[in-house]
Every structure is written in structure tokens, then in C-alpha cells.
């Protein structure tokens, strides 16, 4: 899995503000509103503990401080434990945390100790970015394109099928594609199809996965990025509205899904 770098997390506050405004402008809801609509939940007085984890590639210097900023931005009380790993876990529970957030190189999880709900960043990120794409107010049909059917893309595609959209999807991995066709009933899409979309959810670890044959004039591309799948020149030429942010939107989805 692609690991975040401190560069990805620079200007997180500005990236979050810009994407919150963009979401509000094109979907009618800000990120909090989308999260509440997705999960039917509202933050209460939940206390969130963020535990640094030294496993694998170890601590990412600004990861836990970024999480603390995000947790507070969305109205939760939060703290980063003084110690990492097991000692940090013990500290978190002793300090009365309701929700534990921690990440190694494979799974980033939020676990609510009170209601036992648990979620991975992959699922929460796929669901919210797919949901944002599906809320494009100028869309003229229920057709939506999902690019990438890994753990993030598959979760998003599943959510869109459940919401009743006509989900077309592509992935270079034919097994991933076949699994989604068999299990979700999505329609395979290949870039030489003539079909164009006004709503695109992209979830790949590659750049330039979106080509101009895929998109309508005026369309919404929603992606957790890293890197961005939309070439800048195509974004300008087609007046694409892009919702893309490296961490906060996915974290908001994690929090609202476990409260």
C-alpha cells in the first residue's frame, strides 16, 4: 500500500478547507453533511486517542499530529498518546478514550471501544469518495465510472451499487474486475468504449488514469489521489470539478462510521 509522506500532509488545513468548500459547492453538502448522510450519525462527546505505531516503516513524522488536527476539525475531542504501540494503547484506554485510531503499514483503523464498531481507512475512504462522486448535482444520469477495484475502489463500487447507480468500472487486474462483475454486478468499462461519464470515482496508486474519452464536459472527479489520476490539462479543458485530499476526508468517514 502506498504510504503517506510528510510532503503529502503539508498544508493539510488549506487542502481540507478547499475541499470542504468544493464539496459544498458541487454536492450541496460539506464533508460533515456527507458523513452524517452516509452513516446517520452526528459527533457527540466521543474522546479519540491517536496512537503512534512504530511497526514496519515506523512513525511518519506528521501523521499523528495531522490526525489530531482532523479529529478536532470535525468536532471531536482528541489526544495523541505520549508513548507508541502497546504502551500507547494502555495509556489511551487508561485516559478514557472512546475511540482508538492507529495505523501500521497495512491497516489504518478506528475502533470504538463503547459500541465495538471498527473500520479500516480503505473502506471508509472508498465509501466517502464514491459517495461524493455520486452527489454531482449536474449529473444527467445514474451512470458512474469507478477506476480501480482494489480495497478502496471495491468498497466504493459496492456502496454505489447499493445506492442504485449504474456502475461501470475498470482495473488492469482482470481478476479484480471479474470479482466486481461477479459479486457486485458492475459493468466492465474499457477506455476504447465510446461512453462518457459526468461522475468519476478514481482509486488507483497511479497518475493519469483518466483520459478525455471518459469524461463529459462538466464532470466531477472524486479521488483520494496520491497521485492525482486526472491530468491537469484535461481538468482545465473539461472544467472538471475535482475533490481530492490525502487524508482528512477519509478520516472523517472513519470517525462518523464508528460513532
Which residues of the chain form contacts with ligand 1J1 (CB under 6 A)?
3-4, 52-53, 59-60, 63-64, 103-105, 108, 121, 247
Q: Which is nearer to ligand 1J1, 103 or 133 (CB)?
A: 103
Site residues (vs Mg ion, CB under 5 A): 224, 245, 247, 249-250
User: Smallest distance, Å, CB 123 to ligand 1J1?
Assistant: 12
Distance of alpha carbon 185 from alpha carbon 249, whole angstroms: 27
C-alpha 223/C-alpha 242 separation (Å) is 8
Nearest distance in Å: CB 59, ligand 1J1: 4
Walk across the sheet containing 99-103 and list its strands.
77-80, 47-51, 99-103, 108-112, 118-120
Minimal distance in Å, beta carbon 91 to Mg ion?
27
Give whichever of 244 and 247 is closer to ligand 1J1, judged by the CB atom: 247
Q: How far is the CB of 21 from Mg ion (least distance, A)?
A: 16
Angle at alpha carbon of residue 203, lines to 4 and 38, rounded to 5°: 95
DSSP state of 135: T
How many C-alpha atoms does 160 have within 13 Å on its Cβ side? 34
d(CA 198, CA 52) in angstroms, rounded, equals 40
Residue nearest to Mg ion (CB): 250
Residue 249 binding partner per list Mg ion, ligand 1J1, none, with a CB distance cut-off of 5 to 8 Å that depends on partner kind = Mg ion
Tally the residues of the chain: 259
Give the one entry of ligand 1J1, Mg ion, none that residue 113 binds, where binding means its C-beta sits below a cut-off of 5 to 8 angstroms depending on kind.
none
Q: Which three cell numbers stand for residue 49?
A: 486517542
Contacted entry of ligand 1J1, Mg ion, none for residue 60, CB cut-off 5 to 8 Å set by kind: ligand 1J1
Amino acid at each position: 500500500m502506498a504510504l503517506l509522506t510528510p510532503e503529502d500532509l503539508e498544508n493539510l488545513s488549506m487542502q481540507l478547507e478547499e475541499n470542504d468548500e468544493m464539496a459544498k459547492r458541487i454536492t450541496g453538502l460539506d464533508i460533515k453533511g456527507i458523513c452524517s448522510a452516509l452513516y446517520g450519525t452526528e459527533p457527540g462527546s466521543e474522546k479519540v486517542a491517536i496512537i503512534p505505531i512504530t511497526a514496519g516503516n515506523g512513525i511518519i513524522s506528521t501523521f499523528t499530529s495531522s490526525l489530531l488536527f482532523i479529529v478536532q476539525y470535525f468536532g471531536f475531542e482528541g489526544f495523541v498518546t505520549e508513548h507508541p504501540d502497546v504502551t500507547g494503547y494502555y495509556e489511551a484506554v487508561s485516559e478514557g478514550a472512546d475511540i482508538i485510531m492507529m495505523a501500521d503499514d497495512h491497516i489504518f483503523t478506528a475502533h470504538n471501544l463503547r459500541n465495538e464498531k471498527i473500520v479500516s481507512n480503505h473502506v471508509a475512504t472508498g465509501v466517502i469518495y464514491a459517495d461524493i462522486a455520486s452527489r454531482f448535482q449536474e449529473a444527467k444520469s445514474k451512470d458512474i465510472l469507478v477506476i480501480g477495484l482494489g480495497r478502496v475502489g471495491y468498497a466504493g463500487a459496492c456502496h454505489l451499487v447499493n445506492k442504485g447507480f449504474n456502475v461501470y468500472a475498470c482495473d488492469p487486474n482482470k481478476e479484480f474486475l471479474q470479482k466486481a462483475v461477479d459479486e457486485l454486478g458492475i459493468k466492465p468499462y474499457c477506455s476504447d468504449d465510446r461512453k462518457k461519464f459526468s461522475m468519476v470515482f478514481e482509486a488507483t496508486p497511479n497518475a493519469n488514469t483518466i483520459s478525455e474519452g471518459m469524461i463529459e464536459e462538466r464532470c466531477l472527479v472524486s479521488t483520494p489521489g496520491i497521485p492525482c489520476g486526472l491530468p491537469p490539462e484535461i481538468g482545465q479543458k473539461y472544467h472538471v470539478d475535482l475533490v481530492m485530499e490525502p487524508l482528512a476526508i477519509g478520516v472523517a468517514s472513519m470517525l462518523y462510521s464508528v460513532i
